[in-house]
Amino acid sequence: VIRRRTPHLRSRRVNAVLRVVASFAFLPVLALADASTHPAPPGVDEAAIDTTVSACTNFYRHACGGFLKTAPVSERTPRRGLFEARFDNNLQHALDRLFDSDANDAELVRLATFHRSCRAAQRETTPADDAYLARWFARIDSARDRTAIELLARQLDAIGVEPFFSYDAAPDPADWTRWRGELGAPILYAKAVTVAPALEISGLAPAHARDAAAVIEAMALRLRAARDGAGERPVETLSWQQLESRAPGFDWAGYHTQFGAPSTRPIGVPNVDYVVEAARVLRDAPLADLRAYLRWRLLLSLRGELPPKYAPALSTLPPSLRGTVGDVDGRCRDATVRAMGVEFSRQFSKRIVGTDARNEAHEIAERMRRTAIGAVQRADWLSDDARRAMLDKLARLDLHIGFPDRWPATGRYALTSSFLENVEAARRFEQQQKWKRTQERRDRASWQEKVYPWVGDGMASARLVLPNGFPDAYSNSLVMTAAMLMPPQFATDAPEEFNYGTFGTVVAHELVHVLELHMFGTDGRPAELWSADDTQRHDARMKCVVSQATAFVPGPGLHNPGDRQADENVADLAGVRLAYEALAAGPRETTRRESQTFFYAYAQRQCLAQTPAELARSIDDDSHGPAEYRVNGPLANLPAFAEAFRCPSDAPMASPEAALCRVW
């Protein structure tokens, strides 16, 4: 039996670690009007610095103050990051070039066709997209009995809507080299504030839309209660026959034959109560309610691709589901990632990032690994056994930097000028790939593991065009996406100390997560590498990290939850030190100016303008600390910082020796 805290049922903590910079990708892409339309080169942004604040008093306010004072934030755009804005600008610039770059490359032509259909459909609602949705609504409305409803649900499964059950590949605990199927619950969002306007826009009369929204919301609440009722528990391994007896009344045989899976292979079921309740809903809910629910599930699943007339409804979605609303560039970039993520990532990697950047980034990442190995060797609080295990784990960690050499398969389906038809064709292909994967061996070299953040489902979602870095606990690997290897984060012509301060600190941060994930072995299998004493000594050291963060005041009346941020704060604390040590270990001595560049690069990557409401919201639900703390906290604990800026010993940014926190 596998408990939570293992990969099969991720604990909230592991989830948080895997998410890393997930929130980044959901931000609305900034309108380019207020950003430069030229690619921003990497380097310290002089204009962002506020010289009226001393570096030794508050380095975040010093390095970012100029930006914070001028960045326009509002209720509509409640947050704006210096690097995010520069990155979005650079990315859009790169993509505009990409789509026109080579008419002889068939893959590029397919991408351009898809992207063009998106732009036309997202500028204004097209008759083709209206007709596409109308055809699905008509099919749903014509389902007259439960068999027809189940059949329809399967047809929706085939295009990735998965109205009642999600079915995906997860590592097989019985054979770690294989995938197996996992039957889970889809996202269960159905608040009437979104559902009612969405249904009305889809063609229902206002009163009908309101009534249907109430029914849908109640159905989702019922399913949610079943899903969350029993709390966290182990993933169950069940055969389809066993599932049949646990959740009767649903055509499980019909359901699973669509995956082409031999019925003898058991599957993982993280939440049997949900599955039982969903089968019951399909058996006892009025047919009209089920039809309304399916209509909503189709709209929710296509929320990133719906025509612009749906924008008023989409803007009421919670931020984690909203994606980009009302911006053609951003919506079409994300839609292309979702539909043709592998093609998009491959072209982006090959033509925009390139192997020189990958080689150089790989070299930096290897140096970070060596520095982390040194830190583990010096961690005197670890037992010998634990140290050996951690060193082995680090040595065998796969560094997936930028992009793979071997790419997952891509489809040959026809693409037309009809956007939603194209989306459906791409989803159909991806869904087949996903289902096929449940039968396959796990192949580390192909980067088949999910690449977060979640902008799309499955591996179409190579998603390497989105900046992200994370450890993949299941395979003991670390992924840094191709987008991390372009300005403003990284450039082959940027000074080394700059790349170390941005890209290098992110790699080091992720390496610390790898160290902290001591409940996974060298091959990613659940295995405790520490003794109870190791854990106890680690937790004792973490108290310092927690109490420093708790003492930080993010704003008037705000409390910083240091305990909830501990995993991220320790990764920041050790990450920036390791990256600096790696830089300083280079062949020649680091000058004071180079050190300063490193620290500016680190800080400016975090510059983030926020409305007070957004700051309060992020403190409530982000596992990372506020940007100001993520800069000042770790740097005040690093004597090299105070040295680089010649801070007096009583300066706020120069913690006395006795007060320094150190875990790794």
CA-closest candidate to residue 307, choices 104, 177, 123, 136: 123
Query: Considering just the CA atoms, what is the radius of gyration of the chain in Å?
Result: 25
Rank residues 20 and 529 by Cβ distance to Zn ion and give the closer one.
20
* Residues 6 or more apart whose Cβ sits within 8 Å of residue 153: 163, 164, 282, 294
Rank residues 340 and 365 by Cβ distance to Zn ion and give the closer one.
365
Cα(454)–Cα(450) distance, rounded to whole angstroms? Answer: 9
CA-closest candidate to residue 566, choices 493, 650, 663, 487: 663
Rank residues 202 and 623 by Cβ distance to Zn ion and give the closer one.
623
User: Shortest Cβ distance from residue 1 to Zn ion (Å)?
Assistant: 29
Cα first-last separation, the chain: 32
Q: Which of residues 585-604 bind Zn ion (CB under 5 A)?
A: none
Q: Which of residues 547-586 bind Zn ion (CB under 5 A)?
A: 568, 571
User: Shortest Cβ distance from residue 513 to Zn ion (Å)?
Assistant: 6
Q: Which of residues 17-46 bind Zn ion (CB under 5 A)?
A: 20
CA-closest candidate to residue 564, choices 501, 482, 621: 621
Q: Which stretch binds Zn ion (CB under 5 A): 13-21, 333-341, 360-368, 412-420?
A: 13-21
Rank residues 308 and 453 by Cβ distance to Zn ion and give the closer one.
453
Cα(583)–Cα(602) distance, rounded to whole angstroms? Answer: 13
User: Shortest Cβ distance from residue 622 to Zn ion (Å)?
Assistant: 11
User: Shortest Cβ distance from residue 470 to Zn ion (Å)?
Assistant: 8
User: Shortest Cβ distance from residue 469 to Zn ion (Å)?
Assistant: 8
Q: Do 637 and 662 touch, CB atoms closer than 8 A? A: yes
332 is a site residue for Zn ion (CB under 5 A): no
**DSSP letter string, 434-488:** HHHHTTSBP-GGGT-S--SS-SSSSSSTT-TTS--EEEEGGGTEEEEEGGGGSTT
User: Shortest Cβ distance from residue 393 to Zn ion (Å)?
Assistant: 18
Rank residues 129 and 568 by Cβ distance to Zn ion and give the closer one.
568
Rank residues 20 and 199 by Cβ distance to Zn ion and give the closer one.
20
At 491, the amino acid letter reads A
Sheet hosting strand 267-269, strand order edge to edge? 166-172, 175-184, 267-269, 236-238
User: Shortest Cβ distance from residue 506 to Zn ion (Å)?
Assistant: 9
**Helices within 56-164 (DSSP H only):** 59-70, 82-99, 106-123, 127-141, 146-158
Q: Do 387 and 393 touch, CB atoms closer than 8 A? A: no
Q: Do 552 and 629 touch, CB atoms closer than 8 A? A: yes
Rank residues 452 and 498 by Cβ distance to Zn ion and give the closer one.
452
Rank residues 534 and 568 by Cβ distance to Zn ion and give the closer one.
568
In SS3 terms, 43-68 reads as: CCCHHHCCCCCCCCCCHHHHHHHHHH
* Residues 6 or more apart whose Cβ sits within 8 Å of residue 325: 28, 311, 314, 315, 331
How many CA atoms does the CB half-sphere of 130 hold within 13 Å? 8
CA-to-CA dists, residue 81 to 66, 297, 480, angstroms: 13, 33, 20
Rank residues 455 and 517 by Cβ distance to Zn ion and give the closer one.
517
User: Shortest Cβ distance from residue 571 to Zn ion (Å)?
Assistant: 5
Cα(636)–Cα(659) distance, rounded to whole angstroms? Answer: 10
Site of tokens 């210096």: 82
User: Shortest Cβ distance from residue 641 to Zn ion (Å)?
Assistant: 20
User: Shortest Cβ distance from residue 473 to Zn ion (Å)?
Assistant: 13
Rank residues 429 and 503 by Cβ distance to Zn ion and give the closer one.
503
Rank residues 278 and 512 by Cβ distance to Zn ion and give the closer one.
512
CA-to-CA dists, residue 302 to 41, 156, 280, angstroms: 36, 11, 26
Kindly provide the residue ranges of all beta strands, DSSP E only, lying in 319-382, ordered along the sequence: none
Site size with Zn ion, rule: CB under 5 A: 3
User: Shortest Cβ distance from residue 471 to Zn ion (Å)?
Assistant: 9
At 358, the amino acid letter reads R
Q: Do 570 and 598 touch, CB atoms closer than 8 A? A: no
Site of tokens 């060797």: 377
User: Shortest Cβ distance from residue 29 to Zn ion (Å)?
Assistant: 23
Rank residues 88 and 568 by Cβ distance to Zn ion and give the closer one.
568
Rank residues 324 and 505 by Cβ distance to Zn ion and give the closer one.
505
Rank residues 410 and 565 by Cβ distance to Zn ion and give the closer one.
565
Binding mask 483-522 for Zn ion (x = CB under 5 A): ----------------------------------------
Rank residues 157 and 568 by Cβ distance to Zn ion and give the closer one.
568
Residue 94 CB coordination number (10 Å): 18
Residue 189 CB coordination number (10 Å): 17
User: Shortest Cβ distance from residue 512 to Zn ion (Å)?
Assistant: 8
User: Shortest Cβ distance from residue 144 to Zn ion (Å)?
Assistant: 51
CA 449 to chain centre: 13
User: Shortest Cβ distance from residue 307 to Zn ion (Å)?
Assistant: 37
Site of tokens 């055969």: 239
Rank residues 35 and 399 by Cβ distance to Zn ion and give the closer one.
399
Cα(111)–Cα(333) distance, rounded to whole angstroms? Answer: 11
User: Shortest Cβ distance from residue 20 to Zn ion (Å)?
Assistant: 5
How many CA atoms does the CB half-sphere of 143 hold within 13 Å? 25
Rank residues 40 and 479 by Cβ distance to Zn ion and give the closer one.
479
User: Shortest Cβ distance from residue 444 to Zn ion (Å)?
Assistant: 22
Binding residues (CB under 5 A) for Zn ion: these are: 20, 568, 571
